[in-house]
A and B are shown apart, each in its own frame.
Chain A
Amino acid sequence: MKKTFPVAAVLTALFAASFFIVPLIATFYFSLKMTRGELGFAAYASVFNSAAFLNTIVYSTVASLIAILIGAVIIVPTAYWVRLKVPKLRPVVEFISLLPLIVPPVVLVFGYIRLFGSNSWLPLTSSAFGTDVLLVIGYVVLSMPYMFRAVDNGMAAIDITTLTEAAESLGASRLRTITTVIFPNVRAAIISGAFLTFSISLGEFVLASLLNRPAFGPYLVQLGQDRAYEPAALAIMSFGFTWGCMVLMQLFATKKPGQRWLPRFAQRTTP
C-alpha cells in the first residue's frame, strides 16, 4: 500500500480548525479594543468591577452548586440501588433520566410556572425563595441525563454488585459498604458529572429569565444589548471556563479509584 500525502485530509482538518479558532481569536481581539486606539484589558476590568456581574455570578454559582448537591443526593443512591436491587427497573430509570433531553428548557419552565404558579396547589413562584428553589430544581432536572450517565458509567466500571457482595461477605453493613467501599470509588464519576452540571447551569438563560431570577444568563443577555466590548470579554471568559470544566470533567472521569491526585514527589519507604 503506497503512502501518499493526505492532501484532502489535511485541508479538511485545517479548514475545520480555522472555523473553530477564528471566532475565538476575533472575539478576543474585539474584547481588547475597548480603549480607543489601543489594545488593553479595559473590557475585562469593566466586567470585574461591575456589581451586577459579581452579584449574578455569585448567585448562579451558588445555585449551580446546590443543584449539583441535590442531583448527587438523588441520583447516586438511585443508580446504586437500581444496579444492585432492582435491575429490572434500570431501563425505566435510564429512560426517565434521558427525558430532559427531549423536553426543551422553555417547555419545562412553562410547566413549572403553571404547575407551581401563584394560584396553584404549590405556589412556589409566589415568593423569591420559592422561585429560587424552583430554579435550582430546574437545573437538577436539566443536568440529570449527564449526572446519571456519569455516575452509572462509574458504577459499571467498578462492578458495584460484586464489590457489595464481597463487602457483605466480609461482614460489612449496608451503610458501611456504601460509605467505605462504594462512595470512594464513584467519587470521581460524581465530580465528573458535577463539572458538566456546573458548566451547563452557570450561564443558563431560559429558566433564569422566565423565572425572573438575578442569574448570570439574563445578565449576559442584558449586557449584550447595552454594551459592545464587555460581551466579547465575557464570551472569552465563558469559553475558558467551559474549557476548564470539560478538562476537569475528563480528568475525573478517567481517574481510577486510588490514583494519586498529584504526582508522587518523594518515595515512601515501606518498613
Chain B
Amino acid sequence: MRAYIARRLLQAALVVFGVITMMFFLFRLMPADPTTMLVQAGLPDEARQQLLERWGLTGSLSAQYWRYLANIATGEFGSSFFYQRPAGEVLLPRILNTAWIAIPGILLGTLFGCTLGVAVGWARRGSVLERAGIFLATIVRGVPSFVLGIFMLMIFSTWLRWLPGFGIGQLGSGSGIERFFTWSFLHHLILPTLTLAIFFIPENLLLMRAGIVESRGEDYLELVRAKGVSEARVAWHAARNSLLPVITWLFPALAETVAGIVVIEVVFSWPGVGRELVLAVNRQDYPIAQAAFFMLAVMIVLANLLADLVYAKLDPRVTYT
C-alpha cells in the first residue's frame, strides 16, 4: 500500500514536472519578444535588465530553463503587472475561493448524478423513467457550462430575485476561515455551486446508469435478491459495483471538469483561480496567467491521485504492486 502511494506520488510529480516544462516553452512561443511577457514594458533599461535577470530571461535557453525551474521550486512566478504584487501572493487566496465552490459542487453533482443514474438504470427497460432520464441527461449534457450559468442567473437572480449572482458578497473580519461564515457569503455561494453541481449531473448519471444496466444481469445480484433483502438493498449492491467504472471515468474527466469551474467563476464573477486566469490573459498579465495555469494543473494532478486512492480503497481486488 505504501509502495503504491509512493509510486503514484512519483508519477504525479513527473506530470507536474512535464507541465512546468511545457509552460516554459509555451510562454516562449509568443510571436512578440518573449521578454515582454514577463517584464512590463516602459521600464527604464536598467530596471528592465535587473528584472530580466531575476526572472531568468537572459542567457542561453538551457540556462533560462534552469533558472525558471529554480524560481518555480521556490514558488516565484514573477510579479503581476496588474496587481504589482508577486503572482503567488495574488493567487493563494483565490485557490481557497475556487475550493469553496469546486468541492461542494463536484460532491453534490456526483451524489445526485449517481443517485439518479441508479434510479434510471434500475427502471424497467423501455419505461418512461428510463427513456425520460436518458433523454434529459443527454440534452443537459449538451448545455455549455456558461449557458447553464447564464440561465441560472436569468432565472434565480434576475427573474425570481432569490439569489445573488455576482461576486462573493460581504466577508466577515479576521484572517482565518471564520471570515467566510457570513450569511452574505453563503448566500452568494449557492448559485455558482448549484450550477456546477447541475453541470456534473448528466455525465455521472449516464455513466452510473450504464454500469447498473451492465451489472443487472450479474449472478451476485440474483443471490442477493434470493436472500430476501429489500429491493433498495439489491440496487445498492449494483450501485456499489457500478461506482468503480464511474471513478475510473473520473480520471480523464477531471481535466475537463476544470473547464466548467473556470467558466462558472467567470459567469458569476467568483474571484477564483479560473476567473483570474481569464482576466490575466485578457490583461496580458502573463506572470499571473502562468501561475494560475500551473495551479489548476496541480489541482488536477492531486485530484487524479485522490481518485486513484479512492478506487484502490473501494475495490478490494486492486493489488498494490
Q: Do A and B come from one complex?
A: no
